Structure 1
Amino acid sequence: MTQAIPATMERPHFIGIGGAGMSGIAKILALRGAEVAGSDARESETTTALRALGVGVHLGHDEAHLAGDATCVVISSAIRDSNPELAAARLRGIPVLHRSEALAALMSGRRTVAVAGTHGKTTTTSMLAVALRTLGLRPSYAIGGDLDAPASNAEHGEGEIFVAEADESDRSFHRYAPEVAVILNVELDHHANYASMEEVYESFETFAQRIRPGGTLVINADQEGARKLTARLCDGGREDLRLTTYGEAADADARVVSVTPTGLSSEVTVELDGQRLIVPVSVPGRHYAHNAVAALAAGVALGVPAAGLAGALASYTGAARRLQLKGEAAGVRVIDSYAHHPTEMAADLAAVREATPGGRVLVLFQPHLFSRTRELGAEMGHALARADASVVLDIYPAREDPLPGVTSQIILDAARARGAEVRAEHAKEAAPALIAGMARPGDLVLTMGAGDVTDLGPRVLDRLTERSAS
């Protein structure tokens, strides 16, 4: 399926092109024939992969990086008005697009699936995209994390289906009009943008109302926020909207009958449209099994046969940072987790606990955002109490400035109040040796958080290897 490039996106410039969301859009545009350029603060495997596709990547931010013939500038919500390239674009009158506007343009003319929810978006989007690809349907996709290699978070496919992760954090998912939408769960997060659960419900309602006439909403039948949202949508009277629920609830349309763990994977039995299906899942934990069922229900809503899709989901082997095994040394496994919200943290800890019989679970945790830590720091500490021992780093600020009195101590105090063994480490470079020194054969080390704590897993393995050799 050929796809024309909008005139405003023939020569786009991306500010922060190495980011998870931005790099995927840049890759798809490059594969469609656009002359893509951009800038990022630092070199990375992602920027290297983009260069291999012919994308011009500048390091650092300078107005000189913005070509004179750029047709638009693409930004994310993390880019501040003070950025010199953004300021230059506005001064020159070059159109400035939010990344969600660029993604919406790429999805135009395709049968779109948009996956939303407070947790699990990347995994579910990845599962569906990989399964459709395995079935030979050649989907396009844009995911918030890599599948395996750098820049594997997006693809331009010749098929008619486009699978996209839909981000609620800044309400940018309101720009999409999918044929099928998935809502995995609804919780309060992103406190800089949402002041209450009522605002969150209103935002997800707006997203659901954007589904095309005759389209389908796949939604969780178990999670409280999703159930409340379903009730609100039913009261809204969208008679043209088909509703498919999934979960363990007895009345779920795609009902999870059982989840059988097998080490670092699992197998889920599902009843859907009178069929009993077996879905293999490559990562442990009930929450990932439920993500697979959501992907299954979304594919079936597109008309993909359920039996074939269930088997194709076995080809999904995991996404980067979603309980990703980084390696094993000295009898200790090291796994990386993107979890940064208390619900995610508790779910991933439960999953690895089940996969570590006889060993301990040790966590190296990096809180993400000052606003999130202010609102949810105590709950983060309570989640960490599920581990045998934890090391907590300083807060990763991302796009935020510090808030008075908001530090990792909030998490430490809450964890200790639950009797947890937890310690602070303010020097990130010292953390790998500290956590490696705590580990013994049979243990599992979990690097956890949405920031650069992901870089520490290989270093933990190095320290373990050195200790074993000595």
Structure 2
Amino acid sequence: MRSIPKHIFFIGIGGIGMSALARYFVAKGHGVAGYDKTPSEITESLQDLGVSVHFEDSVSNIPEAFKNHEHTLVVYTPAIPGDHKELAYFRTQGFSVLKRSEVLGEVTKDSFCFAVAGTHGKTTTTSILGHLLNEVDTNVTAFLGGVSENYNSNLILNGTDVTVVEADEFDRSFLTLSPDYACITSMDADHLDIYGEASELEKSFRDFASKLKSNGKLFVRKGLPIEGITYGIEDDSDYTAQNIRIKNGSYVFDVKTPTTTLNNFKFDLPGRHNLSNALIALAMSVEYGIPQPQLAKALASYKGVKRRFTYQIKSDDLVFIDDYAHHPEEINAVHQAVREMYPNEKVLVIFQPHLFSRTRDFADDFAKALSNFDEVALLDIYPARELPIEDVTSEWLLEKIQNDNKKLISKSEIFQTVKNSSKRIIMTLGAGDIGVEAQKLKQELQYAG
């Protein structure tokens, strides 16, 4: 790895991937500071570690110690707008300025690197794999795209011989990695604001596959148009989950490998999509050489990732689940999971669409997925990095939903919508700031009794 300067400044430090990298460099003894648009739990946790974070884009807010281009590396996320003043300053003053993915590529280059790619399932799969390796005392660092319930962090830091990373297809970031083992969980069309066509997205995954080290192994979900070691649920893949049953709300299953069958794995996360994520993490671990008894014990202790089918309230009267799902296929997956866990219950879903472009590109698929719920409430579209697109609104999406029990609501109406509903199962879905609203709703429901 190239020599990393003693000071590192992050632009967009509050992002889940950026903050994991920031935590890593703090642990390694570097001076770390950064900018983000708004305060959050993540920025507060970084400040608790001694990281200087500011929230106004002004060169005057950059700490003096970070204004020496010879001793400071600048890391930024592609979500930062091109007219950002601090980013422009660093670029014009001779600083080394790298994307987060480029730095991640440098950090993982000299380790045995596991990379998890796919349009869905990256964060859960990465956190399962990181947990499995950590539990069996592998010398591992895992950079997670969510907060692990086991570690209450988006970073697992237990040595640097092995690294586990999410290989993010957004902005083709994953092409900076050269992993030893990689998997592709899914290749559904997404990020069409970046790729234009689904075929270009597929090409980028093929390009990623070609980045494997010469003796590397590629694992792909059965049915994807890329060759590799296959995995799937109850099919004829190289690695297959079979003899699946539900006991006390948990999956119990066996894993057929190319050479044998490994019995009696227990996994607590609901949904076939999560079972698939667990299977590929197990397959990569088996190929790496970890014995079944250690893997079974480790998987049974896995608790999940925050905002991935997270139970906020679980009582006889009310079940409230919050999830990050923001793509039609992800909504279908959580719908399958909630129906499997609660087959005789009716479900209210509160959904916040994420990005105008994604809403436009997949409007019919969103409508079809949301129509499967018994009651639907839509919030306004969360813009993130985008400006509004004419005629692309939540009202427009609502009209497409085939459900008599649907409406558009504001954030201030969430609590009353839940109180007025007769549904016992409540779900909040989306990748914007609905996670913050979910926490508010949890408090309001608990206070109301």
When the two structures are superposed, what TM-score results if normalisation uses the length of structure 2?
0.94
Go from structure 1 to structure 2 and tell me whether the alpha carbon gap of 1:213 and 1:92 turns closer, same or farther (over 3 Å shift).
Answer: same
Q: Residues 151-177 of structure 1: CA distance to partner in whole angstroms, max 9, x if unpaired?
A: 711133215110001100211000000
Q: 1:83-122: CA deviations, max 9, x gaps?
A: 1110110121111100001111111211000000010000
Q: Which residue of 2 aligns with 1:428?
A: 411
AA of the residue aligned to 1:305: P
Q: For each residue in 1:420-447, what CA deviation from the matched residue of structure 2 results, as whole angstroms up to 9, or x when unmatched?
A: 521111x21222221232145xx11111
Residues 398-419 of structure 1: CA distance to partner in whole angstroms, max 9, x if unpaired? 1111111111123212213xx3
Q: For 1:282-301, list aligned pairs within 5 A.
A: 282-301=268-287
Aligned to 1:362: 348
Distance 1:398 1:9, change over 3 A: farther
Structure-1 residue corresponding to 2:194: 193
Equivalent positions of 1:106-145 (< 5 A) are 106-145=107-146
Letter in structure 2 aligned against 1:393? L
Residue 285 of structure 1 and its aligned partner are, at CA, apart by 0.7
Residues 12, 371 of structure 1: alpha-carbon distance in 2 compared, 3 angstrom cutoff: same
Is the 8 Å Cα contact of residues 254 and 264 (structure 2) preserved in structure 1? yes
Structure 2: tracts of 5 or more residues without a match: none
Q: Does 1:31 align with 2:27?
A: yes
Residue of structure 1 in register with 2:229 after alignment: 244
Structure 1 residue 461 displacement after superposition: 2.8
User: Where does structure 1 lack aligned partners over 5 or more consecutive residues?
Assistant: 231-242
2:336 to 350, 355, 366: 350
1:399 aligns with 2:382: no
Measured at CA, do residues 17 and 464 of structure 1 come closer, stay the same or move farther in structure 2, by a change above 3 Å?
same
Q: Any idea what SS the aligned residue of 1:451 has?
A: coil
Distance 1:452 1:168 in 2: 22
* Deviation of the 1:189 alpha carbon: 0.4
Q: Does 1:50 align with 2:31?
A: no
Task: Write the letter of the residue equivalent to 1:266.
Answer: Y
Shift of 1:353: 1.6
User: Does the residue aligned with 2:192 lie in a helix, a strand or coil?
Assistant: coil
**Partner in structure 2 of residue 464 of structure 1:** 445
Structure 2: which amino acid aligns with 1:348? Answer: V
The match for 2:15 is 19
Query: Helix, strand or coil for the counterpart of 2:231?
Result: strand
Alignment match, 1:237: none
Corresponding residue pairs, total: 443
Cα distance in 1, alignment partners of residues 387 and 214 from structure 2: 42
- 1:448 corresponds in structure 2 to 429
Amino acid at match of 1:379: D
* Bigger mean CA deviation after superposition, 259-268 or 128-137: 259-268
Offset at 1:139?
A: 1.1
The CA RMSD measured in Å over matched residues stands at 1.9
**Deviation of 1:14 (Å):** 0.3
Q: Deviations over 1:230-259 (max 9, x none)?
A: 3xxxxxxxxxxxx32111364311112133
Do residues 268 (structure 1) and 253 (structure 2) align? yes
Letter in 2 for 1:229: I
Distance 2:180 2:124 in 1: 20
> What is residue 7 of structure 1 aligned with on the other side?
3
Matching residue of 1:84: 85
Residue pairs, 1:369-380, within 5 angstroms: 369-380=355-366
The question of whether the paired residues in 2 share the 8 Å contact of 1:267 and 1:280 is answered with: yes
Q: Would the alpha carbon gap of residues 7 and 54 (structure 1) be closer, same or farther in structure 2, given more than 3 Å must change?
A: farther
How far apart, CA to CA, are the structure 2 residues paired with 1:258 and 1:385?
31
What residue identity is the alignment partner of 1:204? F
What is the aligned-residue identity percentage?
A: 36
Could you report, residue by residue, the CA deviation over 1:175-215 in whole angstroms, capped at 9, with x for unpaired residues? Answer: 00000001001111011112222111210000000000111
> What is the one-letter code of the residue matched to 1:454?
G
Task: Give, as a single letter, the amino acid of the residue that structure 2 aligns with 1:40.
Answer: D
Aligned residue identity for 2:393:
T
Per the TM alignment, residue 40 of structure 1 is displaced from its structure 2 partner at its CA by 1.4
The farther-off stretch of 150-159 and 371-380 is: 150-159
Preserved CA contact (<8 Å) 1:268 1:289? no
Contact 2:150 2:302 in 1 (8 A): no
> Which residue in the other structure is 2:60 paired with?
64
The amino acid that maps onto 2:236 is D
The residue matched to 1:143 in structure 2 has which SS? strand
1:257 pairs, out of 242, 248, 260, with 242
Please tell me the residue identity of whatever aligns with 2:100.
Answer: R
Looking at structure 2, the residues matched to 463 and 46 of structure 1 have their Cα atoms a distance apart, in angstroms, of: 23
1:118 maps to a residue whose letter is T
Q: What does residue 226 of structure 2 align with? A: 229
Question: Residue 279 of structure 1 contacts residue 292 of structure 1 at CA under 8 Å; is this kept in 2?
Answer: no
Name the SS for the 1:349 alignment partner: helix
Distance 1:150 1:247, change over 3 A: closer
Instruction: Indicate if the aligned counterparts of 2:347 and 2:426 stay in contact, CA closer than 8 A.
Output: yes
1:322 alignment partner, SS class: coil
> Which residue is 2:154 aligned to?
153
CA–CA separation in structure 1 for the residues paired with 2:355 and 2:127: 25
| Alpha carbons 2:36, 2:54 under 8 Å: kept | yes
Contact map agreement 2:6 2:31 (CA 8 A) in 1: yes
Q: Residue 413 of structure 2 aligns to which amino acid in structure 1?
A: A
The change in CA–CA distance for 1:321 and 1:372 in structure 2 (over 3 A counts) is: same
